[in-house]
Amino acid sequence: MKTKIFVFIEHDKNVFKDYSMQLLNYANSMIADFPRSHFEISAIVFSSLGLTHENRELLHKFGAENIIDFVGQDLSDYTHDFYSNSLKKLVEYEKPDIFLFSATYIQKEIAPTLAVSCASGLTADCSELKIENKDDKYNLIAKRPTFGNRLYAEISYRNYPQMATLRVGVKAPVREFFFDNKFYKKIKPEFCEENYSIKEFLPIKISDELNKEADIMFAIGSGAADSATIIQIKEIVNYLNENGTPASYCATRKVCEEGLIDKAYQVGQTGAFVSPKLYVALGISGAIHHLVGCNNSEKILCVNIDQNCDFAKNCDFFVRTDAKEFINELHSKLCG
């Protein structure tokens, strides 16, 4: 019997979120050391009119052998109760062994509700997932920080489905898949109707969030953290965005704890995981709990006066200078 792995796919008006496609590819990377025929990976989607042929082919290309599509008017508009009840019925019917989610606002709400309703277990905000073969059974092993981020815990499961949310920004090497047999199944809303009604939708203000899909990210450490420099960095980011280069800024935990940058912009073991094309580390020593949050970046530029700092040993480019002076010069050239 094949091990069933479900991957929740999030989209906006039929445009799949990058983190969902990365998670789908990540699921395939977990089983790379085992026979592919022992597994069945399914993408789980909610859509209003059904997925287009192009969208189905894209999911197959990223590693979904099967696609299960909840189809019905306005299903692409997220409603917690409906999504949760639908997935509960699906789990009861299909009995997946593993169910994976991305650690986003929506999915961090769905996953624990589903875990409780299925009497299963959930490991949240994982930094790594892997598959272990024990007694001819394939089990999920989830890795996440614990004990005040001093240790990593590897967590196994007793009940099914084995569930986890993986941090956005954790990537696997991109591969393309070509399946001989591709399965696409539509599920109508009647499959999961429940005796409840929605009385009112109340708006919820979500705090500003780090743009994890930026191509260039300026990371602010203690060596660059003063109000004038932070303003310059924000103006540089705005300039780049206005001129067609997606950019953002972030900070270390210490800078966020001092209140200089909102905690939503923290990168590291207890913050966000990011993977831009260029990560510019400004006045950051490079402690391990920060490095794990950015080590998936394509290139890392370290700007620091200390050429012996940890970041200098873990970067692609190093500029030995004061980070504030570096930003001041860059700001003068770009923003005048």
Judge if 145 and 240 occupy the same domain: no
- Amino acid 75: pLDDT: 59
Phi, psi (rounded to 5 degrees) for 33: -90, 0
- Amino acid 237: pLDDT: 93
Judge if 56 and 149 occupy the same domain: yes
Residue 242 lies in a domain: yes
Query: What number of helices (H) and strands (E) belong to the chain?
Result: 8, 17
- Amino acid 10: pLDDT: 92
Judge if 39 and 78 occupy the same domain: yes
Q: At what angle do helices 80-94 and 105-117 cross, to 10 degrees?
A: 50
| Whether residue 178 has pLDDT greater than 80 | no
Say how many residues make up the chain.
Answer: 336
Three-state DSSP at 145 gives strand
Q: How far is CA 73 from the centre of its chain?
A: 28
User: Which whole number is the average pLDDT over 153-169?
Assistant: 90
What are the start-end ranges of the H helices in the chain?
Answer: 18-30, 53-61, 80-94, 105-117, 227-242, 253-257, 288-294, 323-335
Contact between 7 and 43 under an 8 Å Cβ cutoff? The reply is yes
Judge if 181 and 243 occupy the same domain: no
Average pLDDT, the chain: 86
CATH number at residue 136: 3.40.50.620
Judge if 249 and 106 occupy the same domain: no
- Cα–Cα distance between 271 and 265 in angstroms, integer? 8
**Domain C-terminal end among 192, 208, 224:** 192
**Domain C-terminal end among 192, 225, 246:** 192
User: Which whole number is the average pLDDT over 317-334?
Assistant: 94
**Domain span at 318:** 216-335
Residue 206 lies in a domain: no
Residue 8 lies in a domain: yes
pLDDT in tens, 82-122: 888 889 999 998 999 999 999 888 899 999 999 999 988 89
Residue 205 lies in a domain: no
pLDDT in tens, 186-220: 887 655 555 444 444 444 444 456 888 899 999 99
| Whether residue 35 has pLDDT greater than 50 | yes
Q: What percent of the chain has pLDDT over 70?
A: 91
Contact between 109 and 80 under an 8 Å Cβ cutoff? The reply is yes
Helix, strand, coil share (%) of the chain residues, nearest 5: 30, 30, 40
Contact between 37 and 26 under an 8 Å Cβ cutoff? The reply is no
User: Which whole number is the average pLDDT over 223-227?
Assistant: 90
- Amino acid 129: pLDDT: 94
**Domain C-terminal end among 192, 224, 251:** 192
Residue 200 lies in a domain: no
Residue 208 lies in a domain: no
Higher pLDDT, 112 or 182: 112
Q: Is the dihedral of CA 206, 210, 211, 213 positive or negative?
A: negative
What DSSP line would sit under 267-293, residue for residue? BSTTSB----SEEEEES----HHHHHH
User: Which whole number is the average pLDDT over 270-277?
Assistant: 87
- Please give the tally of structural domains in the chain: 2
- Cα–Cα distance between 323 and 304 in angstroms, integer? 6
Judge if 251 and 186 occupy the same domain: no
The structure's pTM equals: 0.67
Residue 207 lies in a domain: no
- Reported confidence tier of residue 13, pLDDT bands at 50, 70, 90: confident
Judge if 19 and 63 occupy the same domain: yes
Judge if 104 and 187 occupy the same domain: yes
Phi, psi (rounded to 5 degrees) for 40: -140, 110
- How far is it between the farthest Cα atoms of the chain? 65
Residue 201 lies in a domain: no
- Amino acid 184: pLDDT: 87
CATH number at residue 289: 3.40.50.1220
Q: What percent of the chain has pLDDT over 90?
A: 51
Nearest residue to 324 via CA among 308, 301, 305: 305
Judge if 188 and 317 occupy the same domain: no
- Cα–Cα distance between 145 and 199 in angstroms, integer? 40
> Which uninterrupted H or E stretch holds 163?
strand 162-166
Judge if 183 and 244 occupy the same domain: no
The pairs formed by 197-202 with CB atoms below 8 angstroms and a separation of 24 or more are 198/79, 198/81
Judge if 7 and 96 occupy the same domain: yes
Judge if 151 and 268 occupy the same domain: no
- Amino acid 83: pLDDT: 87
User: Which whole number is the average pLDDT over 76-84?
Assistant: 77
- Amino acid 206: pLDDT: 41
Contact between 220 and 249 under an 8 Å Cβ cutoff? The reply is yes
